[in-house]
């Protein structure tokens, strides 16, 4: 029965293509579908062969590279067997064999005759968020180099050696904030500075849509007209050959004209594997700086600053609790504050440590709810950003020793184990080593208020798991 209707279908080219499209539609998102499949027509169907008409050659290349399997599967599903698929470009008198599909459109009459290279579609807007400034960016050991470089560039765009400036770091550590601050700062000094911010994904989709609309020349002219071009998250350029090509030319053009380029990436540029070598080598012309996760003091300063900004009055021990337990990124810290703020507004109640705990648990999703020496070691390894193995090993590195001492201290405070047992859990150390660690933690808690706050918050967190 199914076979039969398939056979019937295949004898009616008019219904075949819509049926194939239906299958395709179910397998990709609607945006990709409208972009890449809606404009295609089926113009020939034979036993072995299916010919599709596409608007331009860039289309066929893109589809062959990205959707070949998808089309083949859909064809097989509807027609019962696979076919050779070929493409024909619409209204093509002669197809010039340029290596890049895009060049065909630059040559098109429409673009040649357009009165101004920068058309209405690209009305200049900076796309920067006004909220991101240097003033509200907390500087700590983790980001001071990046922030100094960003300030220098914001002060004198295109005039420093930092061109391009590339900031890399894991997600939620302030890259977007910093590059947009550069734009805001430059425009504060000189309001007519043309700053444009786009993620690499926006750049890509602008480029694709320019190709589809025969407006590549305008696209190029627009991006080349910036004084400062800020491109966020360049890791998403990976594997997008044509877009990289276009970006390469934009980059060269801006650089030659002394315009500033600032880029961010979620990893070091040497690890941007799927980026063309020539792009990577351009990136090395300038300065590459990293942002690391903030330390406890910086996290606390960020929280205080955010509270001030939102006129939020949250007790210090709660801020400390958050700063100790949300170590991975600043976005999480902000998220926790927002949640507390919502609670306080809705219930008009004082925020409590219990509330903070439940929020942290929700955000950080701790995987252990048991309190024993092992989970204490794991917890300390997370808070101090060292591995659990390092804590148990013999290493004398300062931050590892610190984590180890705190873990021993918490083990004594929070479990009923003897000093000897605790020592055994830390790579078979002697009980006198454990005593020494506990004394040293006690001593620091007496003399260093931030350290004390940190340990107390850690204790509160672990007690919750008891
Ligand atoms: P990324 O782009 O690296 O993923 P974002 O720039 O989006 O990170 O930062 C996430 C959030 O944290 C933003 O709201 C940002 O304002 C804030 N933030 C990050 N670092 C800092 C900092 N050092 N001082 C103040 N706010 C920060
Ligand atoms: Mg970002």
Phi-psi region of 133 (alpha: psi -120 to 50; beta: other; left: phi over 0): beta
- Average pLDDT on 334-347 reads 83
Q: Residue 195 C-alpha to ligand 1 middle, in angstroms?
A: 20
- 61/318: higher pLDDT: 318
Beta bridge partners of 287: 165
Nearest to residue 423, comparing CAs of 360, 371, 351, 373? 373
Instruction: Report the percentage of the chain scoring pLDDT > 70.
Output: 87
Q: What is the pLDDT of residue 97?
A: 31
Residue among 173, 174, 296 whose CB has most ligand 1 atoms within 8 A, to mutate = 174
Q: Which ligand is closest to the CA of 298, given by its number?
A: 1
- For ligand 1, atom 19, name the residue with the nearest CA: 174
Which atom, in ligand 1's list, is nearest to the CA of 169? 3
Q: Is the pLDDT of residue 4 over 70?
A: no
Neighbour count for residue 341 (Cβ, 10 Å): 16
8 A C-beta contact, residue 415 and residue 371: yes
Among 176-185, 373-382, 422-431, top mean pLDDT goes to 176-185
What CATH number labels 373-464?
A: 1.10.1750.10
- For ligand 1, atom 23, name the residue with the nearest CA: 138
Q: Where are the domains of the chain?
A: 6-89, 115-290, 296-364, 373-464
Class of domain 115-290: alpha beta
Give just the sign of the alpha carbon dihedral 126, 131, 137, 143: negative
Q: Is the pLDDT of residue 146 over 80?
A: yes
Buried-state track 384-413, b at ≥16 Cβ within 10 A, e below 16: bebebebbbeeeeeeebbbbbbbbbbbbbe
Q: What is the pLDDT of residue 465?
A: 60
Q: What is the pLDDT of residue 423?
A: 92
* Structure confidence at residue 204 as a pLDDT band (50, 70, 90): very high
pLDDT digits (tens, 9 = 90+) for 52-104: 988 776 677 778 877 888 888 888 888 888 888 888 887 743 333 322 222 22
Residue among 177, 267, 304, 334 whose CB has most ligand 1 atoms within 8 A, to mutate = 177
Q: What is the pLDDT of residue 31?
A: 63
What is the third-level CATH fold of 296-364? Helicase, Ruva Protein; domain 3 (1.10.8)
Largest CA distance in the chain: 89
Around ligand 1, the residues with Cβ closer than 6 Å are 136-138, 143, 169, 171-177, 302, 330-331, 334
Which atom, in ligand 1's list, is nearest to the CA of 232? 2
- Average pLDDT on 339-358 reads 83
- Average pLDDT on 275-298 reads 92
Q: What is the pLDDT of residue 93?
A: 38
- Average pLDDT on 136-158 reads 95
Which atom, in ligand 1's list, is nearest to the CA of 330? 12
* Structure confidence at residue 34 as a pLDDT band (50, 70, 90): confident
What is the third-level CATH fold of 6-89? GMP Synthetase; Chain A, domain 3 (3.30.300)
Q: Give the list of residues 6+ apart from residue 98 with CB closer than 8 angstroms, or none.
A: 104
Q: Which ligand is closest to the CA of 338, given by its number?
A: 1
pLDDT digits (tens, 9 = 90+) for 49-65: 889 988 776 677 778 87
Please state which of the ranges 107-116, 150-159, 361-370, 444-453 shows the lowest mean pLDDT.
107-116
Q: Give the list of residues 6+ apart from residue 61 with CB closer than 8 angstroms, or none.
A: 101
Q: Give the list of residues 6+ apart from residue 339 with CB closer than 8 angstroms, or none.
A: 359, 362
- Average pLDDT on 192-207 reads 92
- 332/364: higher pLDDT: 332
């Amino acid at each position: 029965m199914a076979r039969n209707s398939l056979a019937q279908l295949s004898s009616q080219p008019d219904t075949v293509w819509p049926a194939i499209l239906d299958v395709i539609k179910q397998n990709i998102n609607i945006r990709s579908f409208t972009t890449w499949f809606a404009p295609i027509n089926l113009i020939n169907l034979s036993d072995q062969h299916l010919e599709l008409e596409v608007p331009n050659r860039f289309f066929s290349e893109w589809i062959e590279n990205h959707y070949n399997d998808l089309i083949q599967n859909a064809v097989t599903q509807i027609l019962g067997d696979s076919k050779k698929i070929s493409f024909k470009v619409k209204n093509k008198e002669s197809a010039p064999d340029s290596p890049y599909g895009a060049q065909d459109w630059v040559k098109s009459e429409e673009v040649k005759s357009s009165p101004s290279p920068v058309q209405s579609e690209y009305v200049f807007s900076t796309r920067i968020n006004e909220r991101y400034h240097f003033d509200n960016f907390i500087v700590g050991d983790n980001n001071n180099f990046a922030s100094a470089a960003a300030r220098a560039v914001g002060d004198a765009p295109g005039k420093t050696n930092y061109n391009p400036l590339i900031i890399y770091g894991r997600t939620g550590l302030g890259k977007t904030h910093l590059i947009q601050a550069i734009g805001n700062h430059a425009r504060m000094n000189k309001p007519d500075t043309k700053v444009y911010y786009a993620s690499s994904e926006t750049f890509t989709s602008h480029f694709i849509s320019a190709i589809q609309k025969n407006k590549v020349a305008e696209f190029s002219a627009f991006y080349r007209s910036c004084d400062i071009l800020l491109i966020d998250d360049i890791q998403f350029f990976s594997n997008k050959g044509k877009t990289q090509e276009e970006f390469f030319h934009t980059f060269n053009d801006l650089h030659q004209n002394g315009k500033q380029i600032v880029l961010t990436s979620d990893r070091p540029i040497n690890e941007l594997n799927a980026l063309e070598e020539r792009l990577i080598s351009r990136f090395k012309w300038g300065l590459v700086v990293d942002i690391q996760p903030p330390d406890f003091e910086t996290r606390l300063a960020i929280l205080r600053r955010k509270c001030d900004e939102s006129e939020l009055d949250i007790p210090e021990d709660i801020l400390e609790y958050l700063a100790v337990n949300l170590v991975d990124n600043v976005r999480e810290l902000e998220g926790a504050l927002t949640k507390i703020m919502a609670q306080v507004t809705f219930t008009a109640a004082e925020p409590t440590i219990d509330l903070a705990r439940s929020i942290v648990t929700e955000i950080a999703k701790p995987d252990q709810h048991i309190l024993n020496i092992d989970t204490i070691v794991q917890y300390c390894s997370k808070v101090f950003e060292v591995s659990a193995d390092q804590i148990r090993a013999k290493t004398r590195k300062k931050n590892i020793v610190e984590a180890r001492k705190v873990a021993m201290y918490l083990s004594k405070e929070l479990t009923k184990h003897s000093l000897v047992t605790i020592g055994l859990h830390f790579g078979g150390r002697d009980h006198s080593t454990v005593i020494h660690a506990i004394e040293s933690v006690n001593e620091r808690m007496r003399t260093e208020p931030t350290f004390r706050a940190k340990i107390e918050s850690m204790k509160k967190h672990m007690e919750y798991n008891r």
